[in-house]
Structure 1
Amino acid sequence: MKRRKWLWIFVTIVIILTLALIVIGLLFGKDEKEKQNGLSGDFDISKQGTIAYVHYLQGKPEIHLYNPEQSLKMKALELENDQIIVDPSFSNDGSTLVYIAANKDSDEKLASTVYQYDLEKKEVKELFSVQSAITEIEFSPTGTSLFYLQAEVFKNYSPIASKRPHDFDLHEYRFADKKQMKHTNLKKYSMESLTIAQDGKSVFVQMPDDEDVNTAEGSFESFQRIFQIPLDQPTNLKVVSNPERKNDIYDFTVVPNKNEFIFQSVSNPDTGETFQYELYTYNAETKEEKQLTNLKEYTEGPEIAPGNKIYFMVDKRFGQRNSDYHLYQMNLDGTNITEIPLPNDK
């Protein structure tokens, strides 16, 4: 009897401890989701000068709109703290904003949903959803469709690397018939910084220059460059950044009415110190390159704003557990770098 009694006591203690650990785990998981606060690196600027930026409050992603010249300062929308908002993008007339929503806890089964926000009506509408990772989205110049980058797999190609989306291609969504179409079949290891040409006939993306690479390991030895993809013949893509550059190019934007790019790259690749990411300009006609910033931090996401200003984000805690993003602007030649305070940027 005593042995049975002690057995029941032991089982009861185990059950209580198990339940306690489950409760603690749930609470801890909730706390983790609520820890994300402040600006993310995702933002866009309309041709009318309105800034849309993503801000997290206790883990909840929000999109804020800010235009001091129009006395506009508002939170447009928010999602639950188990989701993220990626790449808000304005239409050319500034009346509409699209964005991507996805779950924070990504796994092998990916899912992304694209939404449209009407700035005048202040209404949100779901456009489409896919069981894949959509990472970037942009309006066509005519506003009749959306171009987006979609990945098909989510895994790590290296034992020391974390899981990430891979096998990227260029897609398009047409508003008129609500149809989605795939423009390329590249299955690129990575593809970023989607930019639509002004004439709407081609797109620019950053991806590895690995045409002759046949293995995943070999892709690590290729350089990231800027490519132009003609929409009528997407297989005839070409490198438009400096093909001889021996350092990777990351985020970039195209300067309107010029054959010129503003891009992000590492400024100290050979020092052995923590990498510093700065902005550069490259003129494809003159083949001239110039460093625009020298902040010695992590500078990313250049966007061309009205008045030929370059807006960009700086993460002042790059490489640490939590980021600390700040929005800056400067002239096209890199002069007059100033920080732009945003409402609720802390």
Structure 2
Amino acid sequence: MTNGEGLVTEAAFSPDGESLFYLEAGIHTNYSPIASERPHDFDIYRVDLGAMEIEQITHKDAYDMSALDVTPDGEALMYRSYDGSDQLLFQTLEDGSETAVTPIGDFASEAPMISSPALSSDGEHVVFSDVATTNESGTFIYEGFRMDLETKQAEQITSFGEHVTSPVFFNHQDKLIVTVDKGFATSVPDYDYWVISADGDERERIQINFP
């Protein structure tokens, strides 16, 4: 469906199923000799699934883009970007205007470090993981947060004391699944998977057996 000119990292369907939006990186390199190679020069594209035509939505050559999503009304895109600090951006498809959203909350980092943001199916909340505290050795402890998009207020909804990442809402349900890495900051990850209520009051571990 894509032209193969760049590295496609993520994709998201429009609510009507007629379009596929995707992130494409123009290069895969490292800007520092001590850094690993990573995709950069990102932009957003759209594939018309009927005509199979490709349209470039942004012209940013952005250093970083991730967590692409489409709002439930299909009128805007949400994505995370980095420009000196983490940003959560909403871009209106009709006129290309952008709105940056900065969560307000009790974070242990100086500025929000928005990791793996995900939009709720009603478009009213965004969940993400961020630094809640540090352990005795100074390692960041990430927990799950839920932000009200109207007030920008984010509340901590997990308390695992481990590395919580990749929160994802169940479709049209007031609950989500999170990944907990008990081996974070070690050479061997140790993953658990938990279903939690959207307010964080209930949680249940689920077993996923991988072959």
Say whether the fold is shared (TM-score over 0.5): yes
Are the equivalent residues in 1 in contact too, given 2:14–2:74 (CA < 8 A)?
A: yes
Maintained 8 Å contact 2:120/2:126? yes
User: In structure 2, what is the equivalent of residue 144 of structure 1?
Assistant: 18
Please state whether the residue corresponding to 1:151 is helix, strand or coil. strand
Q: Is it true that 1:189 corresponds to 2:63 in the alignment?
A: yes
**Which AA in structure 2 matches 1:190?**
D
Please identify the structure whose Cα radius of gyration is greater: 1
Report the alpha carbon displacement of residue 305 of structure 1 after superposing the two structures with TM: 0.6
Cα separation, partners in 2 of 1:243 and 1:187, compared to 1, 3 Å: farther
Aligned CA RMSD, in angstroms, stands at: 2.2
Give the residue type in structure 1 aligned to 2:21. Answer: F
Verify the 8 A CA contact 1:241 1:282 in the aligned structure 2: no
> Equivalent residues in 2 for 1:304-319 (5 A)?
304-306=169-171, 307-319=173-185
The superposition leaves residues 234-288 of structure 1 with CA deviations (integer Å, 9 ceiling, x where unpaired) of 2x21112338972221211122335321111112269761122111111132342
Q: 1:321 offset after TM fit, Å?
A: 3.3
For residue 298 of structure 1, the aligned residue among 163, 168, 172 is 163
What pairs up with 1:164-183 in 2 under 5 angstroms?
A: 164-183=38-57
Name the structure with the higher strand share.
2
Match for residue 115 of structure 2? 250
Once the 2 structures are TM-superposed, how far is the Cα of residue 229 of structure 1 from its aligned partner?
0.7
CA distance in 2, matches of 1:291, 1:206: 19
How does 1:245-284 map onto structure 2 within 5 Å?
246-268=111-133, 273-284=138-149
Residue 339 of structure 1 and its aligned partner are, at CA, apart by 1.4
Taking structure 2 as the reference length, the TM-score comes to: 0.87
Q: Is the 8 A contact 2:104 2:152 kept in 1?
A: no
Cα shift at 1:295: 1.3
Count of residue pairs the alignment pairs up = 206
Secondary structure at the counterpart of residue 140 of structure 2:
coil
SS at 1:253's partner residue?
strand
> Partner residue of 2:208?
342
> How does 1:154-165 map onto structure 2 within 5 Å?
154-165=28-39
Unpaired runs of 5+ residues, structure 2, are none
Task: Give the whole-Å Cα distance in 1 for the aligned partners of 2:128 and 2:48.
Answer: 29
> Is the contact made by 1:169 and 1:188 (CA closer than 8 Å) also made in structure 2?
yes
Aligned to 2:191: 325
1 CA distance for matches of 2:177 and 2:60?
31
The percentage of aligned residue pairs carrying the same residue is 28
> For the residues of structure 2 that align with 1:186 and 1:239, how far apart are their CA atoms?
15
Q: Report the structure, 1 or 2, having the larger helix content.
A: 1
SS in 2 for 1:268: strand
Which residue of structure 2 aligns with residue 238 of structure 1?
99
**Are 2:201 and 1:201 equivalent residues in the alignment?**
no
Distance in 1 of aligned mates of 2:72 and 2:102: 18
Provide TM-score, normalisation by structure 1: 0.55
